[in-house]
Amino acid sequence: MSLPNAFKKGNSIKITGIIGLATVLLLLTALLIFGNLNNDFSFFKDYISTLGAKGAPFALGWNICGFALVGIGLVGFGFMYGLLLKDKIVAFCLSLFGVGYAFTAIPMDMELVNSAVSKAHILAICIGLAAWLTALSRIGFNTSIKKTIRHRANTIALLLLASMIGYVAGLWSMPLTHRLVFGLVFGWTTITSIGLLTASRANDTAERNTTGK
């Protein structure tokens, strides 16, 4: 498997992949731990924000691990991935998505959705997703990037938009839309990270074969 032409060679490819996978694993681990600690939380019906809402048990722990730390990981992954693609706007937008995700650590008041903190929580999500979609659209139309990477970005972006349109059209509920969005965002991060690690390993193998070591 050859490296995409837009990628730099070196440890940065491997490090970016590791950061991406570690971030996804942190989210899944935090979700399993804090979701099970909260007896009132339903993995199938409730918003993930419920775990960090005002008055929720262990809300501080979730907001730190599930939102703030995961957001920091997304910033690092997004910034480095954008630089690997030699696109500063992608780096900025993916980093902004991470910042927006981290700011969802602001506890939402599930009973007063129009309160200042609840609006700040929702605004952080909206800004982050807008930045993420902008990044994917740039990746999708950048002809210097490997075709499979561009097609993946376009497909995920279209699926994300379709999930939102489905909710607006009344085809499914907001909680389901919430899960679809999370699955698409972190699914893309996972697949991209695995691709980076695979490319890094292939590059290391090629270098060893070239040097005869």
State how far Cα 189 lies from the chain centre: 6
What is residue 3's predicted lDDT score, i.e. its pLDDT?
42
Q: Which residues of 82-108 are buried (b: 16+ CB within 10 A; e: fewer)?
A: bbbbebeebbbbbbbbbbbbbbbbbbb
What are the tokens at 49? 């924000």
What is residue 98's predicted lDDT score, i.e. its pLDDT?
96
**Is the sign of the CA dihedral 69, 136, 107, 75 positive or negative?**
positive
Cα–Cα distance for residue pair 164/132, rounded to 1 Å: 15
What is residue 111's predicted lDDT score, i.e. its pLDDT?
64
CA distances from 58 to 29, 35, 104 (A): 15, 10, 16
What is residue 84's predicted lDDT score, i.e. its pLDDT?
95
Picking from 14, 138, 128, 131, the residue whose alpha carbon sits closest to that of residue 86 is 138
Q: Which regions of the chain are under pLDDT 50? A: 1-8
What is residue 4's predicted lDDT score, i.e. its pLDDT?
46
What is residue 212's predicted lDDT score, i.e. its pLDDT?
57
